[in-house]
Structure 1
Amino acid sequence: MARINLLPWRAERRRQRQKEFGIMAALAAVAGIVLWLLVNMYYNAQLDGQHARNAFLQQQIAELDREIVEIDSLDRQRARLLARKAVIEELQGNRSQMVHLFDQLVRTIPDGVLLTSLKQEGQMLTLEGRSQSNARVSTYMRALEGSGWMTNPQLAVIEARDGVPGLPYAFTLNVQLSTPAAKEAGATTPAPAAPAQEVAP
């Protein structure tokens, strides 16, 4: 026996379309959710990558900071070593200078002159002694000037004084310490030599 559809065909078609629309809406919703998940995963991956890059950069910056601190420490250590080296070289130079100085003091002192005191302040040397005469002191000053290790002798005091037989004059000389190399370097522009002060006996 044949079936007869008693429902109106328009209502049936409407329900069919509503069903199809519901299916399409559900598919669209699923597609939207999937798309949102994919986009969210993409941005999360981008953020994770950026965080990893930031962490790497921070690590490199921290490493550079440590290296900078090490370099600063090495620079300070190098400066201390150079300062110590300069002090040692200066002490060695002064020791050599003092050896030559005492050698020249012995070599330049003439007969009739006796040194009683020697005092150094920086590059200035003060000599005190006794002499037979003023002329002997003048001879001593010329010898000091020609020694190469002392220059510009200046007579500060000379006076007759009792106490040492045969050496009636007490004197005080100020002389500038020098080195032969420094003296030769300044020879291109020589300053006029101060004449030795000679007091008649």
Structure 2
Amino acid sequence: MILINLLPHREARRLERKRSFFAALGLAALIGVGIVLIWFAVLQALTQAQSSRNDYLSAEIKKLDAKIKDIADLKAEIEALKARQTAVENLQGDRNVPVYLLNELVKQTPEGVYITSLRQTGNLVVLAGVAQSNERVSEMLRNTANESPWLEKPELIEIKAAKAAPGRDQRKLLDFSLRVSIKRPAAAAEAASAAAGKGKAAKRAPAGS
């Protein structure tokens, strides 16, 4: 007996292919959604990790800022202490300046020069006196400029013929005034040490030759 299929087989195959297509499309959509969700979760984890690192760095930066501020305050205190120490040392050294000044004036004043007055203002000293000649005044200027460890920058203010007073020696004398600066004690001590070293070297030179 011959069997004849009267069902619409082509339509059935078309429906089957359509169902397969939509099933594959749904599966692809599900896979796509899953991938998106996984990627979103990964991004969230990376964002949280970076945020944690940023919070840690911010906390460490705040700690470092506090330490830097403490160091700056400590440096300021050290500088203030150094300034106080320098001021105290200067005051202690300044107490001896008049003694050194008078001692240097005795050493550096040549014969024929007589100091009649002096006035000190800070590190500046103004001297007035009488000299037998211009050469004597020039010698004093050279001495204070080159030979003295405590005096520097001598400057002649005025020199003129002295007026003869009754009972005064009638030889020709000159009235003069000059100003000179006093070195700070530390600088003067260094200059004195250098001068002493030069003196010792000069004494040893003839013996070696």
TM-aligned CA deviation for residue 62 of structure 1: 3.7
The answer to whether structure 1 residue 127 and structure 2 residue 126 are counterparts is yes
> Structure 1 regions of 5+ residues with no counterpart?
1-5, 190-201
Cα-Cα RMSD: 4.8
| Stretch moving more, 16-25 or 30-39 | 16-25
User: What does residue 157 of structure 2 align with?
Assistant: 156
Q: Percent identity?
A: 11
Letter in 1 for 2:190: A
User: What does residue 181 of structure 2 align with?
Assistant: 175
CA contact (8 A) 2:157 2:178 kept: yes
TM-aligned CA deviation for residue 77 of structure 1: 4.1
Letter in 1 for 2:126: L
Letter in 1 for 2:124: L
Residues 97-153 of structure 1 show CA distances to partners (whole Å, capped at 9, x for unaligned) of 31331221344455x756452113xxx522345x5x437x97987689766322454
Match among 29, 33, 38 for residue 33 of structure 1: 29
Aligned length: 173
User: What does residue 7 of structure 2 align with?
Assistant: 11
Name the CA distance, whole Å, in 2 between partners of 1:87 and 1:46.
Answer: 60
Q: TM-score, normalised by structure 1?
A: 0.54
CA contact (8 A) 2:125 2:179 kept: yes
CA separation of 1:39 and 1:185: change in aligned 2, threshold 3 A: farther
Q: Secondary structure at the match of 1:11?
A: coil
CA separation of 1:16 and 1:180: change in aligned 2, threshold 3 A: same
TM-aligned CA deviation for residue 28 of structure 1: 2.1
Letter in 2 for 1:173: R
CA separation of 1:157 and 1:27: change in aligned 2, threshold 3 A: same
> Structure 2 regions of 5+ residues with no counterpart?
107-113, 169-174, 199-209
CA separation of 1:149 and 1:109: change in aligned 2, threshold 3 A: closer
Q: TM-score, normalised by structure 2?
A: 0.53
CA contact (8 A) 2:126 2:180 kept: yes
Name the CA distance, whole Å, in 1 between partners of 2:163 and 2:51.
Answer: 89
CA separation of 1:72 and 1:90: change in aligned 2, threshold 3 A: same
Name the CA distance, whole Å, in 2 between partners of 1:56 and 1:115.
Answer: 81
Q: Tell me which protein shows more helix as a share of its residues.
A: 2
CA contact (8 A) 1:153 1:176 kept: no
